[in-house]
Amino acid sequence: MPAKESNPAPLIDPKLAKIIFSDSLLRLFILFALFIRVYDLERKPVHHDEGVNGWFIEKIVKNWEYTYSKENYHGPTYFYFGAFSSIIYGKICKLLHCVGGLSIFSIRLVPAIFGTLICLSPLLLCEELGLLATLAVALLLAISPANVFYSRYAIHENTLCIFLFIFSSLILSVLFSKKEPGNFFLRGFLSPMRQRPRKPFSSKGQFFLWRSFWLS
């Protein structure tokens, strides 16, 4: 008899999906975390680090040009996200007949979004931490003065932190779980390790995840 095909592992745990997509309290939590990061985002004067990063982003937006400088000590991930944010913000403002585009708001919006994702990152370890501990950690991250401060600051750190946390949580999941990874991020990060050396990436998504982490 032909071997019975096994069903593929779900991309995300069904219980976790129910919490994320069905629980109105969690939706309010996401809105709260994002709101305190984007409210009056342009009020604080621009720091010189933000000015340097804005200069790199401006070159990408205007000329689609980026040249790595060893004196900058950063990869281009944040710069490209900032350029994308500025372009989209400009198009939205054009539709609404208002002024927008490359601005303090558009380059600070990227860390604000990644800072909100950092608040949700404990969900990746929900099975290991337990639901109550996971939600407690998420809440503390949401109101953390340091997290809120850097989420309203146009620098690379939040971009690096979110990818580093995802990468670390996936490694821990592999070390402490004997099950075949079913999580999308887990499969995306780890499948290159399990494939032939001549074909390390089976999809553009996996390549993007790896590049985003190492270039942050």
Digit-by-digit pLDDT tens for the chain (216 residues) are 555 555 555 545 566 656 555 567 778 888 999 999 999 988 888 888 888 888 889 889 888 888 877 777 777 888 999 999 998 988 888 888 777 778 889 999 999 999 999 998 888 777 777 777 888 888 899 999 999 999 999 988 888 888 888 888 777 767 766 555 445 455 554 444 433 334 444 444 545 555 555 555
Q: How many CB atoms lie within 10 A of CB 110?
A: 27
Cα distances (Å, whole numbers) of residue 56 to 84, 116, 154: 13, 24, 12
pTM above 0.85, yes or no: no
**According to the 3-state scheme, what is the secondary structure of 161-201?**
HHHHHHHHHHHHHHHHCCCCCCCHHHHHHHHHHHCCCCCCC
Task: Tell me 71's DSSP state.
Answer: T
For residue 214, the Cα-to-chain-centroid distance in whole angstroms is 13
